[in-house]
Structure 1
Amino acid sequence: MTKKIIVTGGAGFIGSALVRHLVLDQAAEVVVIDKMTYAANRANIAAAESTGRCRLLVEDICDQRRMADIIASEAPQQVLHLAAESHVDRSISGPRDFIETNVIGTYSMLEGARSYWSGLDAAEKAAFRFLHVSTDEVYGSLGPGGLFHETTPYDPSSPYSASKAASDHLAKAWFRTYRLPVVVSNCSNNYGPYHFPEKLIPLIILNALEGKDLPVYGDGSNIRDWLYVEDHAHALALIVSKGRPGETYNVGGRNERTNLQVVERICDELDRLVPGDRPRREQIKFVTDRPGHDHRYAIDATKLEDELGWRAQENFETGLAKTVRWYLDNPGWWTPLRKSVYSGERLGLTAPQKA
């Protein structure tokens, strides 16, 4: 029997990697719900749509009645909820969209799923899963040592991470109060193909190719744990199928790097593949740090590895090489975005937002 799955945010970066994995590798039938905001791109799921097992519904997850109708009519065995506003800098300059999409939208999806699930027979209820996909940023900032565990207290620093923390608490409350079979995942920084160029790695790749400055916040010492997006997609498919309801699973790549190390590695890889007139490290420019910038994130994925058997297939060097090569090979994907959607300007200004 072909599995029927709803993926919210499925035309975005992580969502589309998941959709491609579910459709192309697992032969599932997937319904994508996506508002198609600036960071979504239908080209991301073109290969999945071409199979006839993937359909896109352009809808707003904040429309609770519509979400309930879609879930009821599609009758999925699984709902994977990834739709979210996700860029920290944009949350600083415009937090309202983050509260609406990440908090109200998650509530809407949970209620739509609960309404559908409550009408299923016992066997269908037992098989149904709702996976809420979140971030390690809800945990706040680590010192020089230690790792984030599933039991780490929440301590969000930005409007983005606060909105995701709120949505995590909603998801867990819907399990505890209503017994809706919810599982939560929290991941480290993702990178890979189809990544919208506002994020660090694609921004640096494209700025470097265009001879522009390579902005590094502060002194570049902030540390992130990097996870190749296809490894994350495989983890999510595993968690929703085998994870225990009510549990949280952290997904990390065990690839800690400072931001400066990441930028320098990209420069060196581009110099090797497409040599220029000067080393691209000379384009690095240190800029004023982001407000509330967490110093270090690092995830302990032992629970996911031991309980469900997941293993990351890429380390940072192999994953970054694949990512750089993808951007070199796919200017037709990113050139229109750079010209008409986001050209690489600094985001994250703190001017107050009008009500």
Structure 2
Amino acid sequence: MMGSALFRVTGALLLAGICLSPPAAAEPIQVTDLAGRVVEIDQPIERFVLSEGRYVSVLALLRPETPVEGLVGMMSPLWWTQPDLERQLFEKFPEARDIPLFASKSEHSVSVEKIIELKPQLAILGLSDHGPNARSAELIAQVEAAGVKIVFIDFRLDPLNNTIPSIELLGKLLGAEEQAARYIEFYRQRLAAIEKRIPEITHRPTVFLQVHPGRRDCCWAMAEGMLGPFLTFVGGRNIADELAPGPTSQHTEEYLLTENPDVWIGTASGTVEEFQEGQNVVALGVGMTRETAQQSLARYLSAPAFQAMGAVQNGRAHVIWHNFYNSPFNIVAVEAFAAWVQPELFGELDPDETMRTIFREFLPFDLNGTYTASIPNE
């Protein structure tokens, strides 16, 4: 009896010892980032840094229960691009308030010393954004020399082709492959619904995609890169891309009047406060309603040069939230462009409902405000 009891106790202690032992580190994984670099990194990743604060929304998409877990530093705060999202982040995940910053708005402000002090295993950087990027050779060399691995993602330089691989890469690195797969399926389905009807296009309207209307002098356009390729994808002709290849280019009012594009689209970066103050910068986002967004757009387009454009006269002038240009939620912009450029084929699309669906099904936050608007067709 005693020997049997001793055996049971000993067995239980051995089992407890096995259960209480720290788990063995997983094998390193090898990934190829969006710069084509092969990176091998130990798992799990428990400490990492981000370049732009806007990428916190990607973390929330992939890990809605623990979006900032392991995030030990980032270049810029989330509030610069999404203040309402930052407010909700701080309310639901108070630990986010204490995440250190290692720069401000540009690559030149980055403190490599601060990054190294934070002791991350991994730095997640944009292929081409406002912070350190794939061309930052000196910074890359210094950070990697300190034992920090670097991977590049991209929602800005070539979002049409790089959004899904970026989500897939981050899902693998952060142990969120199932959630990444869910969003990728959502994204692909919506993209495919547009792509399958492209062969039906018989006419490609001309489009001018103007950046920051009212914030910059007239008229800066997106051309090759950012949201520009979406126009070609949905059946439009991006006139800025044809004239001056490159991410952005400046054009005169006379150019707009001469070209007289069939469709005019602005990327709005104004805020509700600027709208209420009477400023002539087109506003969308938090605090804006459908009515105030239309008023803001109409205010800007009341200038004689715009009033002479056929796109304004024919009710084909629209505006979209500027921050879709560097976001995994850019599928909303694809759908909006499709509905505006080829309304006969895609008029039934509802990009606003797509935005609501993303927040409802994938994010731990509430959606506030208005993110697209059109000039009333009177």
TM interval, shorter chain, is 0.3 to 0.5
User: TM-score, normalized by length of structure 2?
Assistant: 0.37
User: TM-score, normalized by length of structure 1?
Assistant: 0.39
